[in-house]
């Protein structure tokens, strides 16, 4: 399995990308990693006398930052690390790309260089959220701010497949994000998406509409939404988690009695923190492309990079790209759209 890593992407690059890659090389004997970036800077973080034929380097001196317009920067900076890494997937047989750099640049590189699968209208960023009864996959988390009903229908198919193959859910329960559980209680987008999803032969175990409060129950394996709503959910959840932990820390260190109480529940608090820690989930797969693309948080550490490699390895092993390609074909998409038009008429 050949995986390209944008070594210059992320707040702590290239150090955490190198350390995460070293952890993965030791853990998985069937992977070959290529760190793309400034080789001089990358090799500073390798152990002395290090020699490993499964860890390679590809020179790329430029970096696309979060302040740049992704598509324009990708055209101007053809030697940027994310661009060179995407070329490895497109032209040199690499099966996955991992980046903790600019999300927009990763998205642009995936679409413009690697390309969408035939029949895919738009790719979707998928993110795993923890819940009381288990984790839930949400998509789209920001790839498509302006969505159409058939996009959401495809997200449902891709999310269901990912949940089954990667998250190992036998018959994933799938919901559609709305403002009420009742059918017809939502926007024009959700109403039309509900009709498409419920009538699609490729979607099974569609429960119907769900609300924001259902995300963290673990009652649903997959929840589908548009990228604008998904990104608001993601950023709100991150901010809320930071706020809760900050307040909890302040409360548990406010006086001697509180500190003693904190010692008694130290292990439970650590378990809670681990459950909510994005680093344990690796990264957000960008589904619907001709190669596997894993988008990591900008503040990822070596553990997050290691877990992103673990996720990429599993997507390759389960052939998620081929499975999605076989499920969503040009013919299937056209048939779904045609049936939708017939119902509308």
Domain that holds residue 24: 1-120+288-319
Neighbours of 45 (CB within 10 A): 18
Residue 344 lies in a domain: no
Instruction: Report H helices in the chain.
Output: 15-27, 39-43, 70-76, 81-91, 103-109, 149-165, 188-199, 227-252, 256-264, 266-276, 302-317, 320-327, 330-344
C-beta of residue 304 within 8 angstroms of C-beta of residue 278: yes
Residues 102, 175 within the same domain: no
Asked whether residue 138 falls in the same domain as residue 234, the answer is: yes
Same domain, 36 and 114: yes
Residue 118 — pLDDT band, cuts 50, 70, 90? very high
Residue 185 pLDDT grade (very low, low, confident, very high; cuts 50, 70, 90): confident
Model pLDDT, residue 340: 45
pLDDT tops 80 at residue 231: yes
Specify if 340 maps to a domain. no
Within this chain, do residues 140 and 247 fall inside the same structural domain, yes or no? Answer: yes
Identify the pLDDT of residue 279: 63
Task: Determine, yes or no, domain membership for 294.
Answer: yes
Asked if residue 325 is part of any domain, the answer here is no
Assign 277 a pLDDT band (cuts: 50, 70, 90).
low
Domain containing residue 237: CATH number: 3.40.718.10
Burial tier of 218 (Cβ tally within 10 Å: 0-12, 13-18, 19+): middle
Residue with tokens 């500073």: 44
Considering the domain architecture, whether residues 129 and 110 belong to the same structural domain is answered as no
Q: Identify whether 327 is part of a domain.
A: no
Range in 27-36, 78-87, 210-219, 238-247 with the lowest mean pLDDT: 238-247
φ/ψ region of 310 (left if φ > 0, alpha if ψ in -120 to 50, else beta) reads: alpha
pLDDT at 217 over 90: yes
Cα 28 from chain centre: 21
DSSP state of 112: I
Question: CA torsion angle for 314, 315, 317, 321 (degrees, to 10)?
Answer: 180
Same domain, 296 and 214: no
Total tally of structural domains belonging to the chain: 2
Q: What is the pLDDT of residue 329?
A: 72
Looking at the structure, tell me whether residues 107 and 141 fall in a common domain.
Answer: no
> Hey, what are 39's tokens?
């080789």
| Cα separation of the two ends of the chain | 49
As a whole-number percent, the residues of the chain with pLDDT over 90 amount to 72
Global pTM? Answer: 0.87
- Reported as a single tens digit per residue, the pLDDT across 97-108 is 999 999 999 999
* Residues 147 and 273 grouped into a single domain: yes
Examine residue 345 and state whether it is found in any structural domain, yes or no: no
Q: Are 271 and 292 within one domain?
A: no
Residue 276: predicted pLDDT: 66
More confident residue, 238 or 286: 286
Q: What is the pLDDT of residue 241?
A: 82
pLDDT of residue 334: 42
pLDDT at 268: 79
pLDDT band at 275 (very low <50, low <70, confident <90, very high): low
Lowest mean pLDDT among 54-63, 72-81, 145-154, 330-339: 330-339
Residues 168 and 238 in one domain: yes
* 129 and 261 housed in the same domain: yes
Check residue 161 and give its pLDDT.
96
User: 72 and 198 in one domain?
Assistant: no
Instruction: Say whether pLDDT at 266 is over 90.
Output: no
- Give the other-Cβ count within 10 Å of 46's Cβ: 17
248 in a structural domain: yes
Considering the domain boundaries, does residue 193 fall inside one?
yes
Could you report the per-residue pLDDT of 38-52, keeping only the tens digit for each?
Answer: 999 999 999 887 877
- CA distances in angstroms from 169 to 116, 128, 136, 164, 247, listed in the order given: 26, 13, 11, 5, 35
When the pLDDT of each residue in the chain is averaged and rounded to a whole number, the result is: 89
CA distance 127 to 137: 6
């Amino acid at each position: 399995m050949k995986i390209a890593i944008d070594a210059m992407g992320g707040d702590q690059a290239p150090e955490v990308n190198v350390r995460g890659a070293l952890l993965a090389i030791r853990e998985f004997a069937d992977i070959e990693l290529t760190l793309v970036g400034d080789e001089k800077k990358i090799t500073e973080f390798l152990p002395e006398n290090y020699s490993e034929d499964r860890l390679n380097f590809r020179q790329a001196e430029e970096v696309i930052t979060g302040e740049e317009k992704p598509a324009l920067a990708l055209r101007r900076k053809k030697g940027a690390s994310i661009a060179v890494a995407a070329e490895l997937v497109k032209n040199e047989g690499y099966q996955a790309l991992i980046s903790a750099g600019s999300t927009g640049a990763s998205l642009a590189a995936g679409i413009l260089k690697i390309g969408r699968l035939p029949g895919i209208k738009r790719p979707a960023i998928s993110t795993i959220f923890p819940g009381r009864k288990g984790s839930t996959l949400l998509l789209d988390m920001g790839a498509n701010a302006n969505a159409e009903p058939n996009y959401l229908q495809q997200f449902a198919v891709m999310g269901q497949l990912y949940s089954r193959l990667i998250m190992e859910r036998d018959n994933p329960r799938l919901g559609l994000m709305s403002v009420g559980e009742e059918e017809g209680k939502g926007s024009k987008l959700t109403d039309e998406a509900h009709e498409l999803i419920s009538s699609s032969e490729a979607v099974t175990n569609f429960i119907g509409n769900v609300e924001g409060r259902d995300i963290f129950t673990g009652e649903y394996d997959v929840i589908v939404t548009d990228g604008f709503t998904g990104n608001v959910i993601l950023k709100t959840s991150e901010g809320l988690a930071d706020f809760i932990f900050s307040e909890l820390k302040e409360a548990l260190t406010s006086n001697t009695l509180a500190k003693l109480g904190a010692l008694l529940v130290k292990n439970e608090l650590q378990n809670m923190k681990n459950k909510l820690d994005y680093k344990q989930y690796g990264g957000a797969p960008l589904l619907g492309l001709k190669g596997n693309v894993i988008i990591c948080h900008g503040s990822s550490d070596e553990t997050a990079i290691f877990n992103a490699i673990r996720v990429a390895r599993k997507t390759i092993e389960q052939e998620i790209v081929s499975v999605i390609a076989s499920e969503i074909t040009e013919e299937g998409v056209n048939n779904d759209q045609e049936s939708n038009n017939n119902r509308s008429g």
